[in-house]
Chains A and B, each alone.
Chain A
Amino acid sequence: MRDVAVVAFAQSRAVRAEEGANEVEILMPVVSAAIERSGVPRKEIGFTVSGSCDYLAGVPFAFVQGLDAVGAWPPIRESHVEMDGAWALYEAWVRLQHGDVDSALVYAFGKSSLGDLPQVLTLQLDPYCMAPLWPDSISIAALQARAWLEAGHDEREMAEVAARSRKAALANPMAQVAQDLTPEELLKQPYLVSPLRRHDCPPISDGAAAVVLAAGGLAREVSERPAWIRGIDHRIEPHGLGVRDLTHSPSTRLAGERAGVGRATVDVAELHAPFSFQEVILRQALGLGPDVEVNPSGGALAANVMMGAGLVRIGEAAGRVSDGGAGRAVAHATSGPCLQQNLVCVLEADQ
C-alpha cells in the first residue's frame, strides 16, 4: 500500500441556518483554506472528490454547482459520492493508490436548513414498507435507543456522553452547541422523543469541510507532521431495521478490525455518533477503553453538518496527530439510520 496522509483540513463554523449564503458561498472559503494550508498549488492537485446529497437542497445535481468552488478549468479529474465526505475521502485514498497522482482534494457540504431534515432523512429508509409510513430520523433513533436501554443500559450513560461532548465543544470555535451542564442537570430536561432528550440528538447544521490528502514524498515535503492513514475500511448492514441487532454495531467492529484499530494504543478517537447513546455502541464496537479521549471536538452532538460530519471527524483526528497532541488517532464516520454504514480510519504520526 502507498503511504497517504491528511496534510490539511478546514471547516466552516457550523450554524443552524446560514442566512444569505448558498452552498457554493459556504464552501468556497473552506476549500481555499484547505488548499492554502496544504501547500499544494491548486492547479497541481491530482484528484478532486466530494460528498453531498441533493435531497438536502431539493435540487437535482446540486453537487455540480459545488464545483464552482474548486476552479475546475482546465478540466480536472473529479468524482462525487452521494454520501458523507468521509466516503469521498475513501475514494480519494483508493485513487491515490493508483500511483499516478500524488494529491487529492476532498470536500463535503450540507445546507440542511433549506428543508425539514428529519423528514428528508426518511427517504433513506426501505421505500416499500418503511418510508411510506414517514418515520422521521429522530423517531427512528429513539427506537434504537429504546432497544439499547432494554439491553441493559441506562439514561445516565446517555447524559454523560451529552454533557462531556457539549463541554468539550466550548473549546471548539467551529461548534454550534456548547455548554457546561452536569449529567444530572441534563436528566432533568423533558423528553423530545422518548427516551431521547434534546441533548441526546445532534443539532441541525449548515456548513462545509475540506481535506487535502498527499502521498509519500509529497506529504513529507508539504507537512512537518503528516497524519498518515494506516488503515481505512467501511462496512454496511442490511437496509431493514428489523433484521439488525440495533444494540450493537457489527459493521463498525468489522471496519475497525480491518483498519487495525486494536494493533496499538489509541490516544484519541473522533466518533461520528449523531445520537448520544450511539457513542457507547461505537466505543464498544471499536474496543476503545476508558483511557481513550473521545470527541475532544464535541463530536456530532455539538455540530452535525449532514454529509460533512464524518469528514470532519477525520479532519479533527488528523489535526490532533499533526499538532503533536496524539501519536495515534481513530476517526469514524456513519451514514444511514441507526448506524447502518460505518467507516473507520486509523491515523498515525511518523514513529
Chain B
Amino acid sequence: MTEAGPDPNEPVRSIRAPVHLEYHFMPGRASSRFLRGVEQGRLLGQRCPQCAKVYVPPRGACAACGVPTDEEVEVADRGTVTTFCVVNVPFHGQKIKLPYVSATILLDGADIGLFHLLQEVDAEKVHMGMRVEAVWAPPEQRKPTLESILHFRPSGEPDADYETYKDHV
C-alpha cells in the first residue's frame, strides 16, 4: 500500500491559471484635451455641430448624431445637482467617511451631467436642483485626472428651476 495521495478518481474541480496583461491607457484626443484642461483648473467640453449639445467630458463624437465634435467650449465649474445617491455601504479601498453623496452635476453650459462627489454638506440636505461649485485641489497638486476637483459643495445660490434641468434627469 502506498501512502494516501490525491485520489486519481476524484474530479478536478478547479485549476489556477493566472492571467496578467499590461495595457497602455489611450484616452484619445478629446479626452486628452479635457484632462489637460482639468490640470489647469478649466473644464473643456465639445459642442456637436448638428444637435448643438455640449459634451463634458468630451468624447470626440456626438453619440446621438455620429459626427465629430470639433468645437471646443469651456464650461463653468459650477452647476446643478440633477440626481444623487447617498452611500452608506462600506467597501474595500474606501477613502471617504460614510455616509457621503455622489451626484450627477449639470455644469452651466453643458448638456451632459458630470459625476462627482458632493461634500461640505449633510447628506440629508442634498436635493435635486441644488446649486453646487467645484472645490479644486491647489494648482501645484493638480494632475490630468478628475481628482483634481476634490469635490463639489453647495454654492449658496438659490435652487435651480426644474425647467432648467428637466431634460437631464
A interface residues, Cβ below 8 angstroms from B: 20-25, 28-29, 31-32, 42, 55, 57-58, 65, 67-73, 111, 113-116, 119-120, 123, 127-128, 131-132
Contacts and interface: CB of A to CB of B under 8 A. Distances in A.
Nearest to B50: A71
A71 B23 contact: no
B67 A71 contact: yes
A31 B66 contact: yes
Interface string B58-91: 0111111111100000000000000000000000
26 contacts: A20-B26, A21-B29, A22-B27, A22-B29, A24-B60, A25-B28, A25-B61, A31-B66, A32-B66, A57-B23, A58-B21, A67-B63, A68-B60, A68-B63, A68-B66, A71-B62, A71-B63, A71-B67, A72-B66, A73-B63, A73-B64, A114-B26, A115-B21, A115-B22, A116-B22, A127-B17
A115 B23 contact: yes
Contact of B24 (A23, A25, A114, A131): A114
B66 A24 contact: no
B28 A72 contact: no
B32 interface: yes
Contacts of B19: 123
B61 A20 contact: no
A58 B23 contact: yes
Which of A58, A71, A116, A123 gathers the greatest number of chain B CB atoms within 10 Å? A71
B31 interface: yes
A71 B64 contact: yes
Nearest to A56: B23
B1 interface: no
Contacts of B21: 55, 58, 115-116, 119-120
Sorted nearest first, the 7 A-B pairs with minimum C-beta distance are A71-B66, A22-B28, A73-B64, A58-B23, A132-B17, A68-B61, A68-B63
B66 A70 contact: yes
Contacts of B26: 20-22, 57, 111, 113-114
A22 B66 contact: no
A20 B29 contact: yes
Contacts of B64: 71-73
B15 interface: yes
B61 A28 contact: yes
A24 B29 CA distance: 10
Contacts of A72: 63-64, 66
Contacts, number: 83
Contact of B30 (A25, A71, A132): A25
A131 B67 CA distance: 41
Nearest to B12: A128
Contacts of A31: 66
Contacts of B31: 22
A341 B30 CA distance: 37
Contacts of B61: 24-25, 28, 68-69
A42 B23 contact: no
B29 A25 contact: yes
Nearest to A133: B17
Contact of A131 (B17, B22, B66): B17
Given A57-B26, A72-B64, A73-B63, 6 more contacts: A23-B28, A24-B28, A28-B66, A68-B60, A69-B61, A69-B66
Contacts of B27: 22
Contacts of B62: 68, 71
Contacts of B28: 20-25
Given A22-B26, A25-B60, A57-B23, A73 B65 contact: yes
B102 to A, nearest CB: 21
A200 B4 CA distance: 52
A24 B68 CA distance: 10
